[in-house]
């Protein structure tokens, strides 16, 4: 890892400028502002890029950058962005932008088999970066009568952006080794504002290359926590290993709180999630169902000391069948800010699941549906990334 390492952990780089980001108008304003100030190169990699108003606003900013002779590279997932028609992405290529789809292992007109590129990041001039769970599209933005899906990310200015630039090039080149990636930051910098100074490390999951760094982070959070763990996850289906880690944390007296969605864009997943509720409640885990618009965030905090944030959902699809990108952050003020936001969501924007009420209202028919949903999704996750194509695929 480049940069000034933390004395306690060589994977971490200290003295990074960081700022918590939330989905919505302010997020896209910063995204476009970063693009507009680019001088040398831009790397945008995202699971879903929607051809809607927000997608066009970002596209216009990227095209303006290309006309300033900035080298722009856009990589989107072949399944997640299948709604991106040729008529839309032609504008990229016509203006000198390098654009391509991340391809699966196998696909046909109706089926898709293989890993997803689920990571979401923007790197500008190897100097500024965003790592997030937020895709490009109206549903992640604030529109009249349509609040953004709840999601989070982090803005980073510092040497970690050089590392992310190199990772972006590795992904763009289909994971071929690159000796001289163009990732030297400019000599001058622009101050985009930051709230904290933190120690940061980049974490990846990629089952093809046997990288399970984010999974290891979650194991460390649950295994080392002394008092409290908060997990916000949009598709919370923990596998056996994570369930054992949760059980171990609870045995040590650690308070474990999980924030999930009360409703989803994919109802089958919500049924599968609720199948897990009985087990979680027996362990003493506090479950909160977010009652606002769709919850899409992915993060976890540990004792107000450190945390992880990015594209990783707590399920086997993210753990074993996707390319995921998170950053771990050590900064008490930053983690305190995140914890405060999570506490606000739990107290004002969510309903806690009561064990007695859940058991009373979750009859045998509901339990059967939930069991089937859980087993079906576990099978799909075990087989790998497999989709039956839909007309309007939803983000995750």
State the average pLDDT over residues 257-265.
Answer: 85
Residue 388: the pLDDT is 38
The confidence band for 389, taking pLDDT boundaries of 50, 70 and 90, is: very low
∠ at Cα 81 (79, 87), nearest 5°?
Answer: 125
For the chain, what is the HEC assignment?
Answer: CCCCECCCCCCCEEEEEEEEEECCHHHHHHHHHHHHCCCCEEEEEECCECCCHHHHHHHHHHHHHHHCCCEEEEEEECCCCCCCCHHHHHHHHHCCCEEEEECCCEECCCEEECCEECCEEEEECCCEEEEECCCECHHHCCECCECCCECEEEEEECCHHHHHHHHHHHHHCCCCCCCCCCCCCCCCCCCCCCCEEEEEEEEEEEHHHCEEHHHHHHHHHHHHCCCEEEEEECCCECCHHHHHHHHHHHHCCCEEEEEEECCCCCHHHHHHHHHHHHHHHHCCCEEEEECCCCECCEEEEECCCEEEEECCCCEHHHHHCEEEEEEEEECHHHHHHHHHHHHHHHHHCEEECCHHHHHHHCCHHHHHHHHHHHHHHHHHHHHCCEEECCCCCCCC
pTM above 0.75, yes or no: yes
For position 107, what pLDDT does the model report? 55
Q: Edge-to-edge, what's the strand order for the sheet holding 386-388?
A: 106-107, 111-113, 386-388
CB 173 within 8 A of CB 98: no
Mean pLDDT value of segment 23-42: 96
Confidence check: pLDDT of 255 > 70: yes
Report, as an integer, the average pLDDT of 156-183. Answer: 88
**CA-to-CA distance for 64 and 2, rounded, in angstroms?**
32
Percent above pLDDT 90 for the chain: 63
Question: What is d(CA 319, CA 206) in angstroms, rounded to the nearest whole number?
Answer: 8
Averaged pLDDT of the chain: 87
**What pLDDT sits at residue 110?**
53
Structure confidence at residue 383 as a pLDDT band (50, 70, 90): low
Mean pLDDT for 175-204 is: 83
Q: Of the ranges 52-66, 134-148, 235-249, 273-287, which is most confident?
A: 52-66
Cβ atoms < 10 Å from Cβ of 90: 11
State the pLDDT at residue 199. 97
Closest CA to 47 of 328, 392, 324: 324
Nearest alpha-carbon partner for 273 in 309, 216, 231: 231
Model confidence at 376, pLDDT cuts 50, 70, 90, reads confident
**Rounded average pLDDT over 34-50:** 96
Q: Is the pLDDT of residue 144 over 90?
A: no
Distance of CA 20 to the CA centre of its chain: 13
Query: How many residues in total does the chain contain?
Result: 396
Q: Which two tokens stand for residue 154?
A: 């982090």
> ∠ CA 270-210-317 to the nearest 5 degrees?
10
- The tens digit of pLDDT for each residue in 73-128 reads 999 998 889 889 899 999 999 999 999 998 765 555 555 556 789 999 999 999 99
How much is the average pLDDT of 159-174? Answer: 92
What is the arithmetic mean of pLDDT over 325-351?
Answer: 97
Alpha carbon distance 202, 245 (integer Å): 22
pLDDT, mean of residues 182-196: 80
Q: How confident is the model at residue 186 (pLDDT cuts 50, 70, 90)?
A: low
- Map out the domains of the chain with their CATH numbers: 14-194 (3.30.870.10), 208-388 (3.30.870.10)
Q: Is the pLDDT of residue 396 over 70?
A: no
Is the per-residue pLDDT at 266 higher than 80? no
Residue with tokens 């630039």: 165
pLDDT of 225 above 90: yes
Under a CB-based contact definition with an 8 Å cutoff, are residues 335 and 329 in contact?
Answer: yes
Burial 163-183 (b: 16+ CB within 10 A, else e): bbbbbbbebbeeeeeeeebeb
Please check whether residue 328 is in contact with residue 308, taking contact to mean a CB–CB distance below 8 angstroms. Answer: yes
Cα end-to-end distance, the chain, whole Å? 30
155, 129 in Cβ contact below 8 A? yes
pLDDT band at 208 (very low <50, low <70, confident <90, very high): confident
């Amino acid at each position: 890892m480049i940069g000034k390492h933390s004395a306690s952990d060589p994977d971490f780089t200290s003295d990074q400028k960081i700022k918590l980001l939330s989905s919505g108008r302010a997020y896209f304003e910063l995204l476009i502002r970063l693009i507009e100030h680019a001088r040398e190169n831009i790397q945008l990699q995202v699971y879903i890029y929607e051809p809607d108003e927000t997608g066009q606003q970002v596209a216009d900013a990227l095209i303006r950058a290309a006309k300033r002779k900035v080298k722009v590279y856009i990589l989107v997932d072949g399944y997640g962005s299948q709604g991106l028609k040729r008529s839309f992405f032609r504008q990229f290529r016509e203006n000198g932008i390098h654009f391509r789809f991340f391809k699966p292992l196998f696909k046909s007109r109706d089926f898709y088999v293989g890993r997803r590129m689920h990571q979401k990041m923007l790197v500008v001039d190897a100097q500024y970066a965003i790592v997030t769970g937020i895709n490009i599209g109206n549903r992640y933005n604030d529109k009249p009568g349509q609040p953004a899906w709840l999601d989070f990310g982090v803005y980073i200015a510092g040497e970690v952006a050089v590392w992310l630039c190199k990772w972006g090039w590795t992904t763009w080149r289909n994971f071929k080794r690159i000796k001289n990636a163009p990732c030297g930051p400019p000599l001058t910098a622009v101050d985009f504002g930051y709230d904290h100074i933190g120690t940061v490390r980049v974490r990846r999951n990629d089952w093809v290359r046997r990288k399970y760094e984010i999974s290891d982070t979650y194991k460390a959070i649950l295994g080392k926590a002394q008092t409290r763990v908060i997990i916000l996850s949009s598709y919370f289906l923990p596998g056996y290993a994570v369930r054992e880690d949760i059980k171990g944390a609870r045995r040590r007296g650690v308070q474990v709180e999980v924030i999930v969605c009360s409703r989803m864009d994919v109802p089958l997943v919500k049924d599968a999630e609720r199948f897990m509720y009985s087990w979680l409640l027996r362990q003493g885990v506090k479950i909160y169902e977010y009652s606002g618009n769709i919850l899409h965030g992915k993060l976890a905090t540990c004792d107000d000391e450190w945390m992880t944030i990015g594209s990783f959902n707590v399920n086997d699809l993210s753990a074993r069948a996707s390319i995921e990108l998170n950053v771990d952050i050590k900064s008490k003020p930053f983690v305190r800010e995140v914890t405060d936001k999570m506490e606000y969501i739990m107290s004002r924007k969510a309903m806690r699941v009561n064990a007695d009420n859940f058991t009373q209202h979750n009859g045998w028919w509901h339990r059967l549906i939930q069991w089937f949903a859980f087993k079906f999704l576990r099978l799909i996750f075990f087989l790998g990334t497999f989709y039956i194509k839909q007309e309007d695929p939803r983000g995750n």
